Structures are given as structure tokens and as C-alpha cells.
Structure 1
Amino acid sequence: TAFAGVDPGVNESGSYAPKSVPTSKRGSSNLRKTLFQAMDVLIKTMPQDDPVYQFMDRKRTQGKPYYVYMTAGANKFLRIYYGRVKEYLSVLPDPS
């Protein structure tokens, strides 16, 4: 999520603890835009069996702002995708 720039930023100063912090945006802007386009397609197509759509829809019904639920959906998507790729790579035969 840090590489994509959709991780929460850090905003600390002494004992001040803000309620929310903006995303860091330190990663790839192209990847971030692509993720938001994918989340937009999920919102428009409404696949009821997709866990990322269910998560984003729950955030929307909680009254979260657009950018908050889109970023949360992108984070969820990246975590699921990373887990699936990691699982796939673990079952590949050893090349040696």
C-alpha cells in the first residue's frame, strides 16, 4: 500500500493525536489512479459476491466520505491481491 501511495500518512506533533490523517501519496501516482479507476468500476458494476465491493459498500453506508471509502477499498484490494499472489508463488515448483 505504501508503494501505491494509499497508506495513511503520519501527523504527529508532541502529544497531539489527530482523529484522521491524509494519505501519504508518496508512491506511484499512476498506480494510485489505476486503483481508483478499478474501485470506480466496482462501485458501478456492484458485484455482490466481491469482498472488496462489500467492504466499500459497508463504508459508504456508514457515511464515510468518497475519498475515504475509495482509499479503504484500494487498500483491501491490494491486501487480497498480495495474499493471492503470495499463495500462488508458494505452490510453484522450485526452478532448480
Structure 2
Amino acid sequence: MYGYNLVSEEKNSIWKIVVTDDSLKNKDGSVKAKVKAIAEIVDDVSNDLWDIIYYKDMVAFKLPIEHKTYIYSKLYWNARCGECFDKLKVLRK
């Protein structure tokens, strides 16, 4: 038995904006009003012009392969990624 489920899915043509950072959510799970401002920027700016957007105390990170844009607080982003992606684990086989 495998430790994963292998499935075939159709390509998703709709971009999703994802917020998992608890500091950007209200107690009821909805996103804070300030997040909507960066989401509007993400939606307005052409996708081919950016990979990361810094706006006020937030960061939008585009992950084209999944058609998702993740929004994080700068505090979380800096703790996880800093100023570069050198901390990412890379496996080459």
C-alpha cells in the first residue's frame, strides 16, 4: 500500500487567493478588511508582472503551478522566507 493517494484532476482555470495566516483572520474565520486591499491589487495587476507583492504589512506570493496566491503577514513571511528562498529544501534526483 502507498502512503499517498494518486488522483487525476482537471486543470483549474480559476485563480484562488488563499489566507491561512491566523493573524490576517477574524475570530469567526473571515479575513480582515485590510486583506481585501491586497487581494484587489493581486486581481488588478497582470499576473506576468509579479511573483511576490509587498503591501503594507502583508505579502502576496503567487504559486502558478497551483493557480493560487497566498497572502501572509510580513512577520510570518520574514520568519519563514526572509529576503530570499535560500531556506527552501531542494531535492534533486
- What band does the TM-score fall into relative to the shorter chain? 0.3 to 0.5
Counting helix residues as a fraction of each chain, which structure ranks higher?
Answer: 1
Question: If the length of structure 2 is used for normalisation, what is the TM-score?
Answer: 0.32
Greater relative contact order (Cα < 8 A, sep 6+): 2
